[in-house]
Amino acid sequence: MFKVLLSIVVLLCLLAIAAMIGAHCNLHPLPPNAVADRIRVDKAARRLALLRRDTILKTYRVALGGAPVGPKEQEGDQRTPEGLYRIDFHKEDSDYHLALHVSYPEQRDIDRAAAQGVPPGSDIMIHGIRNGRGWIGAFHRRADWTAGCIAVTDFEIEEIFRAVPDGTPIEIRP
């Protein structure tokens, strides 16, 4: 009986180790010279795609804002915006492992929020895991946890950060 229990414990430990390794491995890295000319985010599918001339370079699974259904309407609503925006700058000194700033709010977002008498919100980014918590790896995607941003793993944001120049259009679909 002891040998059976020991075998089960060893097997569970090996499975846990395999899961942790899998959560931190990049089995299909983006080529180092890849440059995206467009980003597409499909919120319902929790997918971000890097594209070059309508060819998908790579897709990533993402976590979104805590209330992901519908477009961002105001500060604090936990929603990820929807529409056409641009990556307007790279942020190395983020509270998260690297970040790409999305140009939200655009004037249309500011006008819509003003008409409702609410602030539109700001600081929407594509980013990695909060600094110091990178060990979570792909497990971060088990729930939508951001305040409206688009989150990927640390090794994924390193690829995206490298492959996406400032000014790249990003389309965020429902």
**pLDDT tens track for 126-158:** 999 988 887 878 888 889 999 999 999 999 999
CA 124, CA 122: separation in Å to the nearest integer? 6
Kindly compute the dihedral angle of the four CA atoms of residues 115, 116, 118, 123, in this order, to the nearest 10 degrees.
Answer: -70
So where are the chain's domains? 30-173
- At 116 the pLDDT is 93
CA dist 141 → 46, 72, 74, 90, 108 (Å):
9, 20, 24, 23, 30
**pLDDT tens track for 107-132:** 999 999 999 999 999 999 999 998 88
Query: Quick one: CATH architecture of 30-173?
Result: Beta Barrel (2.40)
